[in-house]
Amino acid sequence: MWRRPLESWRGSLRFRTILITTAAASIAIIVAIAWIALAIQSDLFDSRRAQVLDDTNRAVEFAQARAAAATVPTDRAGVQSLRSDMLDDLATAATTDLIVGMPIAEQSPDDVPSGFKSDADRFDEPMLSEGLREQVRTRPESQWWQSIGLPSTSGLPVPTIVVGRQLDVPNVGVYEVYLAYPLSDVAQTLAFVQVTLWMTGIALVIIVAGVMWLVMRSVAAPIVDVARTSARLASGDLSARLEPSGEDELATLARSFNQMADSIESQIRELAELSLVQQRFVSDVSHELRTPLTTIRLAAGVLHGERESFEPVAARSAELLYDQVARFEQLLTDLLEISRYDAGSVQLEREEASLSEVVEGVCESMRQVAWQHDTEVRFRGADGDDVASMDPRRVRRILRNLLGNAIEHGEHRPVEVTVAQNPTAVAVGVRDHGLGMRDDQVTRVFDRFWRADPSRRRTLGGTGLGLSIALGDATLHGGSIDVWSHPGRGTHFVVTLPRADDGAEIVAPIAVEPVDEVTAGDLRAGNGPETETLVVRRSPDERDGGEAS
């Protein structure tokens, strides 16, 4: 339910601005309405209370004056008549018909008539608080008021102001008189005002939201266009441009953006042309050098074959010439291969093949090299069907490069080659226990012509382009090469290839961090901090690389 609003909040400046503005305006309007409603309520109540107090004072004074001017009663019937006239006078002078009166025993004779009430069903003595009655009885010079809830036919109490005061009837007694004034009219007026205020507030919120939508539509639309156009430019559409309109800041932004895009497009085109010239130069030079190099190689071969009849210095020179010409020929081959990758003209010759068989063949072909370096190569095939669609020639080249590096830098320790598979991919891991590399070296291991230790002598005659070509071969299959390394603990390369060329997501069958390192790390967990190791994963977009050292 909240997914779509959250996406709009994160992805739309217009939605976020309108929502924040509307929320802030709503809070401000609610606070203002509440304050106005309370102020009106207080003012209505104060006005009504003043009116009620004045009305009560006038009614009691009127009844007091009539009682003082009346003939002094001589019998009980006259007293009862005078009391009835007093109630009528109060009802006539007051604007309410809810009146209750009780004699004050301490200030009246023993034969004082009983109290009087105009409507016992609606207003009676038990509704009065003792505090109010005490004030009225003890302080005759003032009148006192109190708010109560008067019962009604609807079941809801009606807010009412009760005003109490003493009334002295000569030759009869002193009464405490209470007049009740229901505030139904005030409540109706307040309800009407509150409804009007809230309806006005809602209308104001809607108007604010509408105005903000219109403003943001006119202001945010150019910003949205800038965002979309910049996204197109970032994705490679160099023709993406904005349409400036007017002379305001947004128009200036559009023109500046277009100028920036023109400059970027011009520079990119220049770099692309320069890159094309460089690729063509490398390709042409490599092709042109092959013919004289072939002649030189044949001559070097003849000299190498006859070196036994030469003087020692000449014989050694013939050997060096032969080795360096072979290395030069390999370098030209690698340069041609790199130029094909740069030009995007490399094609795979796929066939269904078992990765274990391909890797085992490479291991067998490298046994002599491993023996010369006093290194043992341990091979373990996949536990199950590891047939995949691949170009075996290129996979062999990847493995020869990785295995050669492992033998070269394994410090005469065993090199482990493991093949594994799962339903989506096949993989091979090459692990040595030699020098290893630091984090900053691992991040550059695929750079062209880069070596971790330039001073270290190559014994296998690498060109510095091996890992770059290996990465290109792997990514051409839709796979990847992952690297784990740690100084003094060795290096682990994992080549992962999809089973089929269908673009489906693959899961690597081999973890890039070796299992023995994970176990050792668990055992060392309580023995102080360990140096972190770096795992580098190269995606198909990262082709440039070099040779590890």
Task: Dump pLDDT digits (tens) for 395-446.
Answer: 988 898 899 888 888 888 999 999 999 988 999 999 999 888 888 888 778 8
Question: Domain segments of the chain: what residues?
Answer: 3-189, 249-343, 351-538
pLDDT at 544 over 50: no
Q: What DSSP string describes 122-180?
A: TS-GGGS-HHHHHHHHH-TTS-EEEEEEE--TTSSPEEEEEEEEEEEETTTEEEEEEEE
3-state secondary structure of 189: helix
Closest CA to 212 of 43, 10, 343, 22: 22
Report the pLDDT value the prediction gives residue 415, as an integer from 0 to 100: 92
Question: Which of 98-112, 113-127, 482-496 has the highest average model confidence (pLDDT)?
Answer: 482-496
**Average of per-residue pLDDT across 103-120:** 74
Q: How confident is the model at residue 537 (pLDDT cuts 50, 70, 90)?
A: very low
**How far is 161 from 440, CA to CA, in rounded Å?**
86
The CA-atom distances, in angstroms, between 404 and each of 42, 368, 532 are: 93, 11, 27
Lowest mean pLDDT among 66-80, 223-237, 345-359: 66-80
Helices 249-305 and 184-234 pack at an angle, to 10 degrees, of 30
Q: Which CATH number fits domain 249-343: 1.20.140.10, 1.10.10.10, 2.40.170.20, 1.10.287.130?
A: 1.10.287.130
Report the pLDDT value the prediction gives residue 547, as an integer from 0 to 100: 41
Q: How confident is the model at residue 1 (pLDDT cuts 50, 70, 90)?
A: low
**Both ends of the chain: CA-CA distance in Å?**
55
Give me the residues paired with residue 145 across strands. 163
DSSP state of 515: H
- The answer to whether 68 and 170 have CB atoms below 8 angstroms apart is yes
Report the pLDDT value the prediction gives residue 538, as an integer from 0 to 100: 47
Report the pLDDT value the prediction gives residue 17, as an integer from 0 to 100: 81
3-state secondary structure of 243: coil
Report the pLDDT value the prediction gives residue 525, as an integer from 0 to 100: 46
**Average of per-residue pLDDT across 518-532:** 45
**Average of per-residue pLDDT across 474-484:** 88
pLDDT at 523 over 80: no
Residues 144, 148, 153, CA angle at the centre, nearest 5°? 140
**Radius of gyration (C-alpha) of the chain in whole angstroms:** 51
**Average of per-residue pLDDT across 187-194:** 85
pLDDT in tens, 152-177: 777 778 888 999 988 887 767 788 88
Q: How confident is the model at residue 294 (pLDDT cuts 50, 70, 90)?
A: confident
Mean pLDDT across the chain: 80
Query: Which positions ≥6 away from 80 have C-beta within 8 Å?
Result: 113
> Could you tell me which CATH number the domain at 351-538 has?
3.30.565.10
pLDDT in tens, 199-246: 998 898 888 888 888 887 777 777 778 888 888 888 888 888 888 877
More confident: 468 or 541: 468
CATH architecture of 3-189: 2-Layer Sandwich (3.30)
> Residue 367: how many CB atoms within 10 A of its CB?
12
Percentage of the chain beyond pLDDT 70 is 83
Sign of CA dihedral 250, 252, 254, 257: negative
Report the pLDDT value the prediction gives residue 543, as an integer from 0 to 100: 38
